[in-house]
Structure 1
């Protein structure tokens, strides 16, 4: 399996599925994780996405905890990470370590603009 363009980390299944569908319709390869623990396992196993979309409030390993682990790991520190959150107060504490922040509900045009800056251009899927 080729490396995904995007690693989407969000514990809300509806948000995760909706964002995956929107991104896949634009032609991006998306891997998903239900929480930071799953995301860390993928990254530790060698998955290297072009961009990580990271929710902050999650069980097992929170977004801020995962962000700190990634930034502290020389293999992963340069990965672009954009925060997705409904909690602005959480984002304020970690935004300096991220490459951007989108507030939920996420505006699709804003999301696609950010993704296009970090991922190679794709042709929209025609199927």
Structure 2
């Protein structure tokens, strides 16, 4: 079974790559998925990230549906999921199931703060 730090799920390739680069520069291992279907295949196949950063509006399997699957699966229901979306509102059912939300456009400093709060800092101490 693979162990990852962060799974980034977003259909926007530029957002995926920017988040991956920022997180990797901070010392996190990152895996990318372009939609909920790809992310579900990884998770159902045994990948266990410390945190999922999840967009809501995606093709194939949207973020709300993926989050519902995660919460319904005994193997995954405690997996921390933070929504990174322009669409979540306090009345959104997905928001109630998530462990947090970052609203797009999101600052990298906000993403890094949430990740560090959930996963701890990974930056190596430099001499």
TM-score w.r.t. the length of structure 2 is 0.92
- List gaps (5 residues or longer) in structure 2: none
Alignment of 1:1-127 (within 5 A): 3-89=3-89, 92-123=92-123
Conserved in 1, the CA contact under 8 Å of 2:89 and 2:95? no
Conserved in 2, the CA contact under 8 Å of 1:6 and 1:51? yes
Secondary structure at the residue paired with 1:23?
A: helix
**Runs of 4+ displaced beyond 2 Å:** 88-93
Conserved in 2, the CA contact under 8 Å of 1:7 and 1:52? yes
Cα gap change, 1:85/1:91 in structure 2, threshold over 3 Å: closer, same or farther?
A: farther
Q: Which has the higher strand share?
A: 2
TM-score w.r.t. the length of structure 1 is 0.92
Report the Cα distance in structure 1 between the residues aligned to 2:34 and 2:91, rounded to whole angstroms. 19
Over the aligned positions, Cα root-mean-square deviation in angstroms equals 2.0
How many residues were matched structurally? 126
Conserved in 1, the CA contact under 8 Å of 2:9 and 2:35? yes
1:88: Cα distance to partner? 3.3
- List gaps (5 residues or longer) in structure 1: none
